[in-house]
Structure formats: structure tokens, C-alpha cells
Amino acid sequence: MNKQIHFKSALILITTVICLSCNSNTGTSSKTISENPFESQVDSILGLMTLEEKIGQLNLPVSGDITTGQARSSNIAKKIEEGKVGGLFNIKSVEKIKEVQKIAVEKSRLGIPLIFGMDVIHGYETTFPIPLGLSASWDMELIEKTAQIAAKEATADGINWTFSPMVDISRDARWGRVSEGSGEDAYYGSQVAKAMVRGYQQEDLTANHTLMSCVKHFALYGASEAGRDYNTVDMSRIRMYNEYFPPYKAAIDEGVGSVMASFNEIDGVPATGNKWLLTDVLRDDWNFEGFIVTDYTGIHEMIAHGVGDEYQVTSQALKAGIDMDMAGDSPDTKGAFAKVLKASLEKGLVDIADIDRAVKRILTAKYQLGLFDDPYKYCDTERAKTEIFTQEHKAFARKVSAESMVLLKNENNVLPLEKSGTIALVGPLANTAVNMAGTWSVATNQKASNPLLDGLKTVVGDNATILYAKGSNVDYDLDYEKRVTMFGKDIPRDERTDKQLLDEALAVANKSDVIIAAIGESAELSGESSSVTNLQIPQVQKDLLNALLETGKPVVLVLFTGRPLAIVEENENVPAILNVWFPGSEAGLAISDVLFGDVNPSGKLTATFPMNVGQVPIFYNQKNTGRPLGNKEGKFQKFKSNYIDVRNEPLYPFGYGLSYTTFEYANLKLDKTSVPMDGKINISVEVTNSGNYDGKEVIQLYIRDLIGSVTRPVKELKGFQKVFIEKGETKTVRFTLSVEDLKFYNYDLEFIAEPGDFEVFIGTNSDACLKSKFVLTN
Ligand code: BGC
């Protein structure tokens, strides 16, 4: 007992010292620390710890069974008391977290506070568009602010660590998790990664409104074969470095506090046990000094990967660089730090130094968060009442959602609609609050999201009549429907027959001046473990859409989706298509803002939409090949690199998105045609708003390095600006390229720029561009 008090006071003493150093650090950047300011405190604690307590710090169990009142008696509570838990995740509510933290701080021998993680992916209770949608805003300030708001809300509710951003580049729409990332481009993904990390961590990680960020899933998870989740990845190093690694590295350079290892293998070794990846690249080359957590049961899964038994996989993971084991300590797992690390040590498979190193990193993170200073600093019940899902946050969510929507087609200016007459709203996605947040929205207040029907009614008020019919279920197949509407995101199956549903919809449509069809994917049709082999809208909804088109009334397709879809038929037949992704808490209002022109759409795709699933993987920055197609129209040519049955071009290219106004590009100018290695080149272009609405345009700059020591892509994004231009106005938009922008990893994985000819393109998307050129000289 006395001993216990002694240990506790040792800790209190230590924390006082730290508190002073925290304060003096306030306002300094959270960027990677090269000298650990907490080293002596961490070492002192380490000296007090038993082996069991050390292993306990590496253990991140699921918190599923903890609810207020139960915590004390639950199995996990007992483990916390024994010092066998380092943190918990996905536990929601400040009361529950406070109660659990109390157990750690007051009941465990050393009183080491727990870290509380959560998948705060696109907002907390105030939910923003799914990440793929958010990325379509091309607005880094806005994206950063969404992370800031998420951090404010999550920390007000007791959370201090988020498993975000997810920066996996993906070029495969079959993969359901394409919805969780920022699309296909490494340069663009890097900008988003930085904005998210900045937003979560801000200037001071010890502040009580900032979250420690965890970049994931390291690495290459988005390149799983055939788009099947958790599948094998096999990739050349040169592609990794040039096309997949940059966003992870950008997050590291921005000072991200932690990294999550991915489920897939790399070069035949699961990422979780891959020393080259986690130590040689991440720590030695990129200087990452934070801690590395596995993904859910990642260590245990190495047994199924086939690299060894539980002793082998745990020791391999630890030695590779893993610090914390997520959900390893679950009833049905064997390969878990908590279960076998002690035995692995006894068997000589790991050294105590390996364990100590991991413990130190986790304790350091807890110091960085200020948890030793005040373990309850994120447990302010007053904040939880006033800072979550506020009017201000909701208003911001409405704005962000509208900014993320992409106008895919607008024939004869069907959009924007008038707030008058009779409007039919039809479709299974029209009146479902719980689907609006989309996938990976653990903390969202699902029922409080506004569905399109409510939003429309609010926005038109008494000016127009809204008639609603569901029109169809999500899918003809009930089993399939269940699989894509889980986790509380159900769209209750309508017991009426398909014909009855359709008849009702047609009756409503026939009474109306215009039809809005709210169709597409349900929220769980994308996300984790939601891979598909068919990129079409479910057939029952296609049939509904076709029937609506046959009425001859103008139809606007409001497309809900978590992935690029092959909507070729819809693109041919429906006059207006607005892609709204899953827009978040304020979905209905935000969609209505765009439909009626209160907001002019300005979103642009960050992932190519294919013509069909057979084109996948498809992306704009492909290589030329030795047999490129010789015509721009995409006409088939024998013995060239193309398909017999479909052209090479996608349905909508990367960067594509329309506006209610039109923009014209002219006078692409370079201030020089020859640039030395240490020089810069200034590039400008005039963009005129030639249409009838004020609007924002995302001006995109691409380059092509024409000759390289290794083959180079036909286009690479190197800059973008989102600019507001009034109707009739012309703005000159300027970019500067330096040699840094021209660098790439060569055959020997050196990051270099090579002298030679470059082309520059500026335009409204990756396909439609003005073109010029310059030479990089030695
Ligand atoms: C996912 C991660 C997530 C983790 C914790 C895993 O299944 O792959 O992205 O952060 O669960 O919820």
C-alpha cells in the first residue's frame, strides 16, 4: 500500500516538472521532435514498471463492453486496474471515458493514464462529407477546418487520438475504402494529408481541443489486388515511392503523432511485420518519431498470412517497429502482445530493449498530449454539452457539403431549379437521415442528419410543392440490401411490391414539373469490407430512373455514392447529374442549396470515373507505353494499347466537375522557356467567367517530363487553386514551379530532377488543358 502511494507521488512529482515544460512548449509546433523533451520523465517511469505493466502499455483493446456503471466490473476494467491496458478506442461519451480513466489513474499501481482513440474520420457528431467527397472540394483551408472542428468536438467528448487521416491512394473503384481517402493522386493526396494533420493537431498537441492524429494505413492498402479488401498488394518500389508513399510522408513531415500499419503484405511480408517499411523507411529515412499502432488484430492476422505462429508474429511485429497492438487482446486471437510477448521474451525472440522502446514511445505520446499533466483534461462534461453538434458547426458542415458536390452533367441548364411549381422527389435515398453521414461515422448523430426531403422542404418553404415517393428499395435482392444497409444505416425494406412502389412514384412524377431522383449507393455499400465487382447503380434503381425519364419530365439525378461509378447510361440519358457523395449531417440542406443555385457547385473529382469495371484500375497519370493510341478521339487501333470493346478514356476524368457558369482559359504564359536547376518558373493563365453566375473554379496545373531515365507519367498534377470569379470577370492566376516540383524517384530511388524538356498544362480538369513547354537545364 505504502509502496503504491510512493509510486503515485513519484509520478505526481514527475508530472509537475512536465507541466512546466508543457507550458513553455505551448504554441510551439507539434512537428516531429528530434529530441524527446520528455525523455527523462519517460525513463523514470519505465524504471518503475514491471514487465507486465510494460506490455500493458502496448495493449489497445476494443472497448465494446464498457458502459457507465459496468466499467468497474468488466474484464477490461480489471485489466486496466492491473496496468495491462495502454489505451482504449471507440468508446463514446465523456462520462464513460472519465470513469475508465479514473480506474487507470486511481486504481492501477502506477496510475498511468490511458489514451483514448476513435475513428473520427470525417467529423465527430457534426459529420462532414465522406473523405472522398471532402477531397472533391479542393479547398485545403476548408478541409483543415473540418479536422479542427472534429478535434474540438471529439476532445470535448473525452477522445484524444484519432485514426485519421486515411491517405491510401486508390485507383480502384471496386475497393470500398476508396470512399475513405482522397482519391488517386499522390500530389493531391499529400496536400489533403497535411491539411488534415494540421487541423487535428494544430499548433499545440497539449491543448485540450486538439487530437493526436494517426495516419493510416501504412502502406499501399489502396492497391489491393482486384479491389478486394485485405487482399495482397504487389508493387514495384519505384511505383511505391512515386505514386503511393508521398501522402504518408507528407503527414509525417507535418508532424503526425502516430502511424497505423496496414493489413496487406508488401514484398511478401505483412506490413505489420515489415521492418523495411516500418523502420528503414518510416523511421530511418523519414525520421518518424511517434508511435506505430497496428490495424485491428493486425499482428494476429500475420498467422493467417502464413508467416509463423503467435510467438513468431508478435516478435516479428515488435522488432519491425510496431509499438501498440490494436484489438490483439480479443477472446479469439492468439497473436497478441498482451498474450504472448512475455513468453516471446522468455524464448529469446525479443529483447527487453525492444519492449522498452515501444513503451517509451507510447508514454511519450501521452506526455505530448498532456495526459500526465491532467489525465482528465479531455473530460469536461460542460464542454461536452456546449461544444458538440453546435449550430455553428452545422452551418459549417452545410457549407462544406455543398462545396464537395460535383456537377457531372447539366444539359440545357436544367439546374439550378426554380423554387416554384411542383417538384417530385423520388428514390430510396431521398428520405433516409441515417444514410447521410456515409461510411465510417462512428460518433455521428445519425438520426439528427437532415435527409434530402427535409432539406428541400426547408429551402423552398412555401414557394413550391414537394411531392415524395420512395420509388424502389435499394436493391431487388433483400440479402444484398441487408449487407449494404448495416450499422444502423438501414433503409427499411418497403413491403409493397416493386410495381406498387414504382406506380406511386410515377403518379407523383406525373403531377410534377420536375423530378429529382435521389438514388445510388446506400451508405454501407462503400467503406471497409464493401468491395464490389459491379460499378453500376443497383438495377432496381436504374429501372426506377428509366421509368421516370419516360415521363418526359426533366429529371435531375442526385447521385449518392462512396466510390466512382460507371454511370454511362445515366450520363447518356439523364439531363442533369449532381454527385453528392454522402454529404454528412447537413446533407438535405446542402444538396438543396446546390439544386436551387444558392450555392454554385465547384467540386471536382479526385478519382477517375470509369466507363465500365473492366477499365479499372484507371487513373489520369498513367504511363505512355510503347504503343500509345495515336488518336485523341479514342478510335480503336489494332496493335496499340487499347481495348476492342471500350475506348481508353474514362467517363469523367480526374479533376472534372462542372459549374452553373462557364470558365474560359486563355494566355497561358511562362516567364522563361529555359530554367536552371536552381531556378524557378512563373506561370500564369487568364480565366474568364463567361457564364451567367458568379462561381468558383479549380484551376489545375499539370506537367509532363518528356524524357526520363525511367518512364514518366503522361501528366502529373503539380498545383491547383480554387478561385472565385464573378460573372464577366477575368482573373490572372499565377503558379510557380521550382525544381522540387520536378523531382521524382529514379531507378535507384534517389529523389532527383533530370534536365530536359517539360510540358506544362493548365485547365479545368486533367483532360482539357492549355499547353506550353520549357527546358530544365543543368
Ligand atoms: C480499420 C481501421 C480502423 C480500425 C479501428 C479497422 O478495421 O481498418 O481503419 O481505424 O478498424 O476501428
Residue 703: give its domain's CATH number.
2.60.40.10
What the block records as the C-alpha cell of 334 is 492468439
Question: Of 575, 596, 613, which residue is a domain's last?
Answer: 613
Alpha carbon of 442 to ligand 1 centroid (Å)? 11
Q: How many domains does the chain have?
A: 2
Span 346-360, pLDDT tens digits: 999 999 999 999 999
Do 589 and 671 fall into the same domain? no
Residue 437: give its domain's CATH number.
3.40.50.1700
Q: Is the dihedral of CA 309, 315, 320, 322 positive or negative?
A: positive
Of 343, 546, 501, 522, which is closest to residue 430 (Cα–Cα)?
522
Q: Is 516 helix (H, G, I), strand (E, B) or coil?
A: strand
Question: What type of residue is 682?
Answer: N
Using CA atoms, how far apart are residues 175 and 179, in angstroms rounded to an integer?
9
Of 216, 278, 220, which is closest to residue 245 (Cα–Cα)?
220
Q: Is 581 in the pocket of ligand 1 (CB under 6 A)?
A: no
Span 289-315, pLDDT tens digits: 999 999 999 999 999 999 999 999 999
Alpha carbon of 165 to ligand 1 centroid (Å)? 12
Backbone angles phi, psi at 626, to 5 degrees: -80, -10
How long is the chain? 778
Return contacts of 676-681, CB within 8 angstroms, 24+ apart: 676/776, 676/777, 676/778, 677/739, 677/753, 677/755, 677/776, 677/777, 677/778, 678/739, 679/738, 679/739, 680/736, 680/737, 680/738, 681/736, 681/737, 681/738, 681/774
Using CA atoms, how far apart are residues 315 and 350, in angstroms rounded to an integer?
6
What the block records as the C-alpha cell of 240 is 511505391
CA 254 to chain centre: 16
Using CA atoms, how far apart are residues 270 and 455, in angstroms rounded to an integer?
46
176 part of a folded domain: no
Peptide bond into 165 cis (omega under 30): yes
Q: Is the dihedral of CA 93, 375, 282, 315 positive or negative?
A: negative
Q: Is 216 in the pocket of ligand 1 (CB under 6 A)?
A: yes
Do 571 and 673 fall into the same domain? no
Alpha carbon of 296 to ligand 1 centroid (Å)? 6
Question: Of 575, 593, 613, which residue is a domain's last?
Answer: 613
Q: Whose CA is nearest to atom 12 of ligand 1?
A: 119
Q: Which residues are catalytic?
A: 295
Cα distances (angstroms) measured from residue 266 to each of 232, 270, 339: 8, 6, 26
Using CA atoms, how far apart are residues 456 and 465, in angstroms rounded to an integer?
10
Any residues with CB less than 8 A from the CB of 461 and at least 6 apart, and which? 419
Using CA atoms, how far apart are residues 240 and 242, in angstroms rounded to an integer?
6
Of 294, 171, 266, 126, which is closest to residue 616 (Cα–Cα)?
171
Question: What type of residue is 14?
Answer: I
Of 267, 264, 256, 339, which is closest to residue 291 (Cα–Cα)?
256
DSSP sequence for 22-65: HHHHTTS--SPPSS-TTHHHHHHHHHH--HHHHHHHTEE-B-TT
Peptide bond into 617 cis (omega under 30): yes
> 549: domain range?
391-613
Give residue 141's pLDDT: 98
Do 697 and 591 fall into the same domain? no
* Contact indicator for 326, 297 with CB cutoff of 8 Å: yes
* Contact indicator for 315, 344 with CB cutoff of 8 Å: yes
Do 534 and 667 fall into the same domain? no
Q: Is 161 in the pocket of ligand 1 (CB under 6 A)?
A: no
464 part of a folded domain: yes
Alpha carbon of 91 to ligand 1 centroid (Å)? 14
Give, rounded to a whole angstrom, the gap between the first and last alpha carbons of the chain: 73
Three-class DSSP labels, 321-356: CCCEEECCCCCCCCCCHHHHHHHHHHCCCCCHHHHH
Using CA atoms, how far apart are residues 32 and 251, in angstroms rounded to an integer?
10
Do 405 and 533 fall into the same domain? yes
Alpha carbon of 230 to ligand 1 centroid (Å)? 12
Question: What type of residue is 121?
Answer: I
Q: Is 168 in the pocket of ligand 1 (CB under 6 A)?
A: no
Q: Is 177 in the pocket of ligand 1 (CB under 6 A)?
A: no
Using CA atoms, how far apart are residues 221 and 294, in angstroms rounded to an integer?
13
Nearest atom in ligand 1 to the alpha carbon of residue 263 is: 8
572 part of a folded domain: yes
For the chain, 778 residues long, the average pLDDT of each consecutive 10-residue run is: 32 33 33 74 98 98 62 79 96 94 97 97 98 98 98 98 98 98 98 98 96 98 98 98 98 98 98 98 98 98 98 98 96 95 97 98 98 96 96 98 98 98 98 97 92 98 98 96 89 95 98 98 97 98 98 98 98 98 98 98 98 98 96 92 96 98 98 96 98 98 98 98 98 97 98 98 95 97
Alpha helices in 283-336 (DSSP H): 298-305, 310-320
Most distant CA atoms of the chain, gap in Å: 85
Do 434 and 497 fall into the same domain? yes
Q: Is 180 in the pocket of ligand 1 (CB under 6 A)?
A: no
Of 157, 261, 121, 207, which is closest to residue 582 (Cα–Cα)?
121
686 part of a folded domain: yes
Alpha carbon of 643 to ligand 1 centroid (Å)? 37
Using CA atoms, how far apart are residues 68 and 49, in angstroms rounded to an integer?
29
Any residues with CB less than 8 A from the CB of 298 and at least 6 apart, and which? 261, 263, 270, 271, 272, 317, 322, 325, 326, 328
Do 607 and 506 fall into the same domain? yes
What the block records as the C-alpha cell of 114 is 490511458
Q: Is 218 in the pocket of ligand 1 (CB under 6 A)?
A: no
Nearest atom in ligand 1 to the alpha carbon of residue 164 is: 10
Q: Is 586 in the pocket of ligand 1 (CB under 6 A)?
A: no
Do 408 and 523 fall into the same domain? yes
Using CA atoms, how far apart are residues 271 and 652, in angstroms rounded to an integer?
34
Using CA atoms, how far apart are residues 43 and 37, in angstroms rounded to an integer?
11
What angle do helix axes 310-320 and 298-305 make, rounded to 10 degrees? 120
436 part of a folded domain: yes
Q: Is the dihedral of CA 233, 237, 243, 245 positive or negative?
A: positive
Return contacts of 349-356, CB within 8 angstroms, 24+ apart: 349/311, 349/312, 349/315, 350/314, 350/315, 350/318, 350/319, 352/51, 354/318, 354/319, 355/51, 355/54, 355/55, 355/58, 355/318, 356/46, 356/54
Any residues with CB less than 8 A from the CB of 523 and at least 6 apart, and which? 434, 435, 436, 437, 438, 439, 485, 489, 562, 582
* Contact indicator for 576, 594 with CB cutoff of 8 Å: no
Question: Of 554, 583, 613, which residue is a domain's last?
Answer: 613
Burial label for 283, CB within 10 Å (0-12, 13-18, 19+), is: middle
734 part of a folded domain: yes
Do 605 and 679 fall into the same domain? no
Do 580 and 717 fall into the same domain? no
What the block records as the C-alpha cell of 517 is 431522383
Cα distances (angstroms) measured from residue 155 to each of 2, 124, 158, 248, 324: 35, 10, 5, 24, 21
What the block records as the C-alpha cell of 305 is 498470412
Using CA atoms, how far apart are residues 395 and 381, in angstroms rounded to an integer?
24
Do 421 and 532 fall into the same domain? yes
Using CA atoms, how far apart are residues 163 and 259, in angstroms rounded to an integer?
9
Q: Whose CA is nearest to atom 2 of ligand 1?
A: 295
Using CA atoms, how far apart are residues 195 and 535, in angstroms rounded to an integer?
30
Do 600 and 680 fall into the same domain? no
What is the 3-state composition of the chain as percent helix, strand, coil, each rounded to the nearest 5? 35, 20, 45
265 part of a folded domain: no
712 part of a folded domain: yes
